[in-house]
Amino acid sequence: MLNVIKELADDNVKFTHILNVKVSNQTSSLVGTKVRQKIFKEIDGVNLLPPNFQFQLVWKSSKTQTSAYYITNSPLNDMLTSQVTGQALHTIINGLQNDYDWTQMGLTYLITKPLMKSIPICNDVIRPTKVKKK
């Protein structure tokens, strides 16, 4: 998926955040797949904000059934994007509470921002701390 994100950036597809979702300590790979499929159905292409809210928060994946990586082009600030996404994932997991053994299994997620070629992080000149006079 990281290659897909790179391709999107190279094609000038605008996105502000990247979401990585990981199911850990699942009892089998099938359980992990089923949890990821449920998350995919609940967040891929779905607005996570109330319908009357002025903006939208929609995560998208290039996959068709399950994914660990999503992107969004959200006008929301980083904190609100993180909080709304975390609440949505928490709600999904609560809905799966009776279907799986969650004593050892868990869900982690990471939201990052892409580094684009057009946005320099630092544009500074580096010089020695002591310049020798000639």
- Residues 60-89 have pLDDT tens digits of 887 777 778 888 998 888 889 999 999 899
Instruction: List pLDDT tens digits, range 17-62.
Output: 888 888 888 888 899 899 999 999 999 999 999 989 888 999 988 7
Beta strands in the chain (DSSP E): 17-24, 69-72, 106-112
Q: What average pLDDT does range 123-134 have in this prediction?
A: 49
Q: Are residues 93 and 107 in contact, defined by beta-carbon separation less than 8 angstroms? A: yes
Whether the predicted pLDDT of 132 surpasses 60: no
Whether the predicted pLDDT of 131 surpasses 80: no
Cα R_g (the chain), whole angstroms: 19
* 69-72/17-24 β-pairing: antiparallel
Q: Are residues 115 and 121 in contact, defined by beta-carbon separation less than 8 angstroms? A: yes
Quick check: helix, strand or coil at residue 21? strand
Q: Are residues 58 and 45 in contact, defined by beta-carbon separation less than 8 angstroms? A: yes
Q: Are residues 43 and 100 in contact, defined by beta-carbon separation less than 8 angstroms? A: no
pTM of the model: 0.76
Instruction: List pLDDT tens digits, range 85-101.
Output: 998 998 988 888 888 88
